[in-house]
């Protein structure tokens, strides 16, 4: 996929993009420009419906479809001109297009993973999924000038989603990481704080920043820090190293006060894909007790009465459904 020219992106010149070459699972990719135009419209109800459809078409059942990478530059620009109430979710979609399928994986190896199995092919076009993810990430990197100004946005959901997107960049890592660190130093929203920490850690993990483990450990081991920062840094540290879990960190993550933050931190973008209701709990379980399957833990916690169904373990959604904070649209 060649780089889309700046004037094409800024001018929303959809007709210069070969959408028809990249169908999604439900139909031709040439449907996407119309949905993007509707998303950018002043009709809030129609824009909301268009975003639901785009989630289905571009991030089918937790996996990226090839046409998604073409849509990324336009989705980023829609956040500037579309409905303010849809900006965070639009950014969230961009981030998911640039990340591997990670439903149900809260492990130390999986939580911050970005690459897909090179052998995995996208069903509608037979394109390698990792190729599509890389193309989407390159598109994000090419539009950093649109993303970095969103880090101090008044809406905390936008700030959190922006961190999620920035974690996928493929170059200018020092610049992006520095921006995330600067924002973390002044951020007061706990969900955004954890999002910034995980974004910093994801970049550090992929690009082998040798200083990051010490940074994360200093955060989680500092009893004077807010609990959300310590928890986020604890998860980050576990993903950055293969060391045994220190007793101090195990105590922090298994303390009842940490569990009480589970509902609040469910808004951190990395956690709902792990579990639609209890992402933090599942991450802690998988990172501290990887030898015990999550379903077994659920079974033990409920007195051993019968086997949990997929919907019992994952919350309200069947396993095959895409991760969303809202119901997915029905394909037309």
pLDDT of residue 207: 92
Specify the higher pLDDT residue, 272 or 114: 272
Task: Single out the residue of 190, 195, 236 nearest to residue 217, CA to CA.
Answer: 236
- 55-64, 160-169, 180-189: least confidently modelled range: 55-64
Specify the higher pLDDT residue, 319 or 304: 304
pLDDT of residue 154: 97
Question: Does pLDDT of 51 surpass 60?
Answer: yes
Question: Does pLDDT of 301 surpass 70?
Answer: no
Which two structure tokens, joined as six digits, stand for 327?
């119901």
Average pLDDT, integer, range 202-218: 96
Give me the phi and psi of 24, to 5 degrees please. -105, -175
Helices (H), 255-318: 256-259, 262-265, 279-288, 294-301, 310-314
- Residue 175's Cβ-side half-sphere holds a number of Cα atoms within 13 Å equal to 10
Average pLDDT, integer, range 96-104: 84
In the structure, what pLDDT confidence band is assigned to residue 132 with cuts at 50, 70 and 90? Answer: confident
- 22-26, 215-219, 244-248: least confidently modelled range: 22-26
pLDDT of residue 21: 84
Burial of 45 (0-12, 13-18, 19+ CB in 10 A): exposed
Residues 6+ positions from 136 with CB-CB distance below 8 Å: 64, 68, 69, 72, 94, 97, 98, 168
In the structure, what pLDDT confidence band is assigned to residue 122 with cuts at 50, 70 and 90? Answer: low
Average pLDDT, integer, range 305-327: 33
Q: Which of 120-124, 309-313, 322-326: highest mean pLDDT? A: 120-124
State the Cα–Cα distance between residues 56 and 320, nearest whole angstrom: 13
In the structure, what pLDDT confidence band is assigned to residue 35 with cuts at 50, 70 and 90? Answer: very high
Question: Does pLDDT of 39 surpass 50?
Answer: yes
Which two structure tokens, joined as six digits, stand for 326?
């809202």
Please write the tens of the pLDDT for every residue from 143-178: 999 999 999 999 999 999 999 999 999 999 999 999
The SS3 assignment for 27 reads strand
> Quick check: 186 and 216 in contact, CB under 8 A?
no
Average pLDDT, integer, range 286-296: 86
Residues 6+ positions from 307 with CB-CB distance below 8 Å: 295, 299
Sign of the four-CA dihedral 237, 188, 324, 289: positive
Could you tell me which residues are beta bridge partners of residue 121? 128
pLDDT of residue 299: 42
State the Cα–Cα distance between residues 155 and 151, nearest whole angstrom: 10
pLDDT of residue 29: 85
Helix H or strand E segment including 46: helix 44-58
């Amino acid at each position: 996929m060649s780089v889309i020219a700046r004037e094409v992106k800024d001018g929303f010149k959809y007709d210069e993009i070969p959408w028809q070459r990249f169908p999604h699972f439900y139909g031709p990719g040439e449907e996407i420009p119309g949905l993007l135009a509707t998303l950018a419209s002043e009709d809030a109800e129609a824009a909301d419906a268009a975003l639901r459809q785009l989630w289905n078409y571009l991030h089918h059942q937790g996996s990226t479809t090839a046409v998604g990478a073409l849509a990324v530059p336009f989705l980023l620009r829609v956040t500037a001109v579309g409905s303010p109430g849809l900006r965070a979710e639009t950014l969230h979609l961009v981030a998911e297009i640039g990340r591997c399928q990670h439903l149900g994986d809260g492990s130390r190896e999986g939580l911050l993973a970005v690459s897909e199995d090179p052998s995995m092919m996208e069903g509608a076009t037979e394109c390698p999924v990792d190729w599509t993810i890389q193309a989407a990430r390159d598109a994000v990197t090419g539009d950093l000038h649109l993303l970095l100004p969103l880090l101090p946005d008044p809406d905390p959901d936008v700030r959190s989603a922006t961190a999620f997107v920035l974690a996928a960049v493929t170059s200018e890592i020092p610049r992006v990481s520095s921006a995330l660190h600067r924002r973390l130093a002044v951020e007061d929203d706990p969900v955004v704080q954890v999002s910034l920490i995980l974004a910093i850690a994801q970049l550090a993990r992929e690009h082998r920043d040798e200083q990051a483990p010490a940074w994360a450990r200093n955060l989680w081991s500092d009893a004077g820090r807010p609990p959300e920062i310590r928890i986020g840094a604890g998860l980050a540290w576990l993903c950055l190293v293969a060391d045994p879990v220190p007793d101090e960190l195990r105590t922090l993550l298994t303390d009842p006060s940490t569990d009480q933050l589970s509902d609040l931190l469910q808004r951190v973008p990395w956690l709902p894909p792990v579990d639609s209701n209890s992402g933090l709990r599942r991450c802690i379980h998988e990172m501290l007790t990887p030898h015990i399957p999550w379903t077994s833990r659920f079974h033990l916690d409920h007195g051993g009465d019968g086997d949990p169904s997929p919907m019992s373990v994952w919350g309200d959604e069947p396993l095959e459904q895409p991760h969303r904070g809202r119901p997915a649209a029905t394909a037309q």
